[in-house]
Amino acid sequence: MNVKDILKLIEEEDVAYLDVRFTDPKGKLQHVTLDRDLIDEDFFEEGFMFDGSSIAGWKSIDQSDMKLMLDPTSAYIDPFYAEKTICVHCNVVEPDTNEPYARDPRGTAAKAEAYLKASGIGDVAYFGPEAEFFIFDDVRYSITPQKVSFQIDAADAAWNTDTEYEMGNTGHRAAHKGGYFPVNPVDAAQDIRGEMLSTMKRMGMKVDKHHHEVASAQHELGLIFGGLVEQADNIQKYKYVIHNVAHAYGKSVTFMPKPMKGDNGSGMHVNMSIWKDGKPLFAGDKYADLSQEALYFIGGILKHAKALNALTNPATNSYKRLIPGFEAPVLRAYSARNRSGCVRIPWTESPKAKRVEARFPDPSANPYLCFSALLMAGLDGIKNKIDPGPASDKDLYDLPPEELAEIPTVCGSLREALEELEKDMDFLLAGDVFTRDQLEGYIALKWEEVYAYEHTPHPIEYAMYYSC
């Protein structure tokens, strides 16, 4: 859409409101809803003022005025509001200069796309994220001085095979770690996922599939690839739709990477490719039919993987997923077949579909920052011809300990990831895509989470140490 399309739609469809949306540094979607009578061409040109000091990690109270500039190409009808409402995603700018605000994640993603074009390496980068999630029926948690606990339940989870229900227990449940691709009635979420996917399609998103995942109550919906900013917008819409459809069914969704012990966690595998002059840059005659540029791109991701973790795996909970034994990609290696390495090359017959899959990111990430950082690491690899070394086609978890010890790993905690980002951020600063002030502000926000986590006693500590 353009501005005239939106104004025409407001009149023809009797739209009541315009919802302007933006994303904060942690990746949470924010919004404010405006009456239709305020909306005209001047509104789109002038933007909307708001209080930036109320957003964590942004302005101080003495410099709080900020402006939202609407991107009309991102417009869609919200399917969940009773009153017809058009939603538009925004970039954040400085009100006195209209220059992009350096800490705005969506603005960073736009700069990353511009940097790619300016580099001469390619014209467009395509992203295909695969974000997993859990659907629960009951979620309770407590963080008080005398009680730190959580409790979750899902009627279709493996642990409920002997639960007594008023209407009886049907017994159709996937086994522990056995949830991949069963049909209904074992897959009890077919209809809710179908509604999630059809809702996305009605909103203009390009979708392809949905299915149950490996863990109890774990699921995934598929998005067809698109540009960096476009796909970051789509992940925000993806989460929004999934949360709200589940809520309408009386259920709760989480994108936490590891909400329960002993089963697979949720990742967000990110498929990437670069095109130049209408041709796929990653197709070639090297390993797995990749080009030399694609191998250098992989080299950049592997080299900067630990710094990337702070942006691709930004939750303390992320590192409960990044452990061996659950298909978790903890090893800084690449392969055309192996899923235990950080990077995989999916099989395809078409050069147009040749791509690189980063497997370590998870859906707690801010998609604008995550995708931008991955692109910057890969471009650094191409610019500096970073050799990724030989591919690892063995089962990496089945290697002898002495061989396994020689393969570097990703970070083991958010604390380590933040320390690595502090040491290795220059590749993100190229072309002013990220700024040092932005990254320092982001790191400060994340240290607050680390301290909150590290300073809180955990129930497992009572089991291990209470009687010592």
The CATH number of whichever domain residue 351 belongs to comes to 3.30.590.10
CA distances to 329, 389, 432, 453 from 333, rounded to whole Å, are 9, 9, 29, 30
Domain co-membership, 201 together with 318: yes
Domain co-membership, 70 together with 168: no
Q: Do residues 269 and 122 lie in contact, with contact meaning Cβ atoms separated by under 8 Å?
A: no
Domain co-membership, 162 together with 61: no
Q: Pick left, alpha or beta for residue 67 (phi over 0 → left; psi -120 to 50 → alpha; otherwise beta).
A: beta
Q: Give dist(CA 425, CA 253) in Å, integer.
A: 33
Domain co-membership, 345 together with 215: yes
Q: Is 220 a catalytic residue?
A: yes
User: Is 222 among the domain residues?
Assistant: yes
Counting every residue written for the chain, the total comes to 468
Domain co-membership, 239 together with 170: yes
Nearest in space to 328 (alpha carbons), one of 259, 404, 263: 263
Q: How do strand 331-335 and strand 341-344 relate by DSSP bridges?
A: parallel
Which position among 40, 41, 45, 51 bears the catalytic label? 51
Give the amino acid at 449: E
User: 34, exposed or middle or buried, with CB in 10 Å at 0-12, 13-18, 19+?
Assistant: middle
Which position among 220, 293, 380, 420 bears the catalytic label? 220
Q: Is 51 a catalytic residue?
A: yes
User: Is 89 among the domain residues?
Assistant: yes
Q: Do residues 65 and 49 lie in contact, with contact meaning Cβ atoms separated by under 8 Å?
A: yes
Residue with tokens 């109270």: 61
Task: Cite the DSSP H helix spans in 203-279.
Answer: 228-248
User: Is 111 among the domain residues?
Assistant: no
Regions of the chain short of the pLDDT cut 70: 325-327
Q: Is 402 a catalytic residue?
A: no
**198: which DSSP letter?**
H
Strand partners, 227: 126
Full residue range of the structural domain in which residue 357 is found: 124-465
DSSP labels, 328-384 = ---EEEEESS-SSEEEE----S-GGG--EEE-S--TTS-HHHHHHHHHHHHHHHHHT
Domain co-membership, 222 together with 278: yes
Q: List pLDDT tens digits, range 354-369.
A: 999 999 999 999 999 9
Which position among 24, 263, 357, 362 bears the catalytic label? 357
User: Is 21 among the domain residues?
Assistant: yes
Q: Is 130 a catalytic residue?
A: yes
Domain stop point among 101, 133, 152: 101
Q: Is 132 a catalytic residue?
A: yes
**214: which DSSP letter?**
S
Domain co-membership, 95 together with 149: no
Q: Give dist(CA 5, CA 15) in Å, integer.
A: 13
User: How many domains are there within the chain?
Assistant: 2
Q: Is 339 a catalytic residue?
A: yes
Q: List pLDDT tens digits, range 250-297.
A: 999 999 999 999 899 999 999 999 999 999 999 999 999 999 999 999
Which position among 113, 359, 380, 420 bears the catalytic label? 359
Which position among 31, 176, 211, 339 bears the catalytic label? 339
Domain stop point among 67, 101, 135: 101
Domain co-membership, 159 together with 263: yes
For residue 280, whether the previous peptide bond is cis, meaning omega lies within 30 degrees of 0, is no
Q: Is 461 a catalytic residue?
A: no
Domain co-membership, 70 together with 142: no
Domain co-membership, 256 together with 366: yes
Which position among 213, 233, 362, 420 bears the catalytic label? 213
Domain co-membership, 194 together with 313: yes
User: Is 197 among the domain residues?
Assistant: yes
User: Is 411 among the domain residues?
Assistant: yes
Q: Give dist(CA 459, CA 466) in Å, integer.
A: 10
User: Is 192 among the domain residues?
Assistant: yes
Q: Do residues 381 and 298 lie in contact, with contact meaning Cβ atoms separated by under 8 Å?
A: yes
Domain co-membership, 74 together with 216: no
Which position among 78, 132, 233, 362 bears the catalytic label? 132
User: Is 107 among the domain residues?
Assistant: no
CATH number at residue 49: 3.10.20.70
Q: How do strand 218-223 and strand 207-212 relate by DSSP bridges?
A: antiparallel
